[in-house]
A = this chain, B = another copy of it.
Amino acid sequence: MSADANPAERPATLPTQPAGAWLDAVRWDADGLVPVIAQEQGSGDVLMFAWMNREALALTAELGRAVYYSRSRQRLWRKGEESGHVQQVHEIRLDCDQDVVLLKVTQLGHEPGIACHTGRHACFFQRLEGQGAEAQWQTVEPVLKDPETIYNR
C-alpha cells in the first residue's frame, strides 16, 4: 500500500522536516538544534563552531556544503551566502552521545580559506596569555581580508 492510499497512515512529519532514521538518531536539544564543529580537512584546523537544526543537517548532507541554523536570525544560514566563503563538506561525523556533529570541510572562496566573519582563517584567533586573574585574550592570527570588502561587495 502506498503512503497515499490512506492519508491517515501518512507519517505525521511536517513537509519541512526531512525524513531519515539517521536524522532521528541525532539527539537534538530542547530548541531542536545540535552543535556543529567545522574542521578543515587539509590542515586539521578547527575553523568555527555553529548550530544546525534538522533541515540544516539534511541540506548539508544533500548539497555537500555546510548549511547552518543562525540562532540570532532564526533561519537557515547557507555558509558563504553573503561572503562567498562556502564550505565543501567531505565528511559528517557524530559523537558518542549523538549530540554533537563534526564536519570535515574545505573552505572555499579565498586562498588561504577564510571561515571567520572577521576575515580571518578561523574563528579561534584569541589565545589566553599570562597567569591567574591577570591573564588576557590576545589576538594571534592575522586578518586575511578586510571584512568590509567581504560583506559589501
Contacts and interface: CB of A to CB of B under 8 A. Distances in A.
Nearest to A91: B127
Contact of A21 (B48, B92, B136): B136
A102 interface: yes
A22 B127 contact: no
Instruction: Please tell me the size bucket of the interface on A.
Output: 35 or more
Chain A at the B interface: mostly helix, strand, loop or mixed?
mixed
Interface in A114-145: 116-118, 120, 123-128, 131-137
Interface stretch (A2-10, A39-47, A76-84): A39-47
A69 to B, nearest CB: 15
Copies in the complex: 2
A136 B61 CA distance: 11
Interface in A30-59: 35, 37, 39, 43-46, 48-49
Interface of A: 18-22, 25, 35, 37, 39, 43-46, 48-49, 61-62, 91-98, 100, 102, 116-118, 120, 123-128, 131-137
Given A20-B134, A25-B137, A35-B49, 11 more contacts: A19-B133, A20-B132, A22-B128, A35-B35, A39-B44, A61-B135, A93-B124, A93-B128, A95-B123, A96-B118, A102-B124
10 contacts: A18-B133, A39-B44, A39-B46, A44-B44, A92-B128, A93-B125, A93-B126, A93-B128, A95-B123, A96-B120
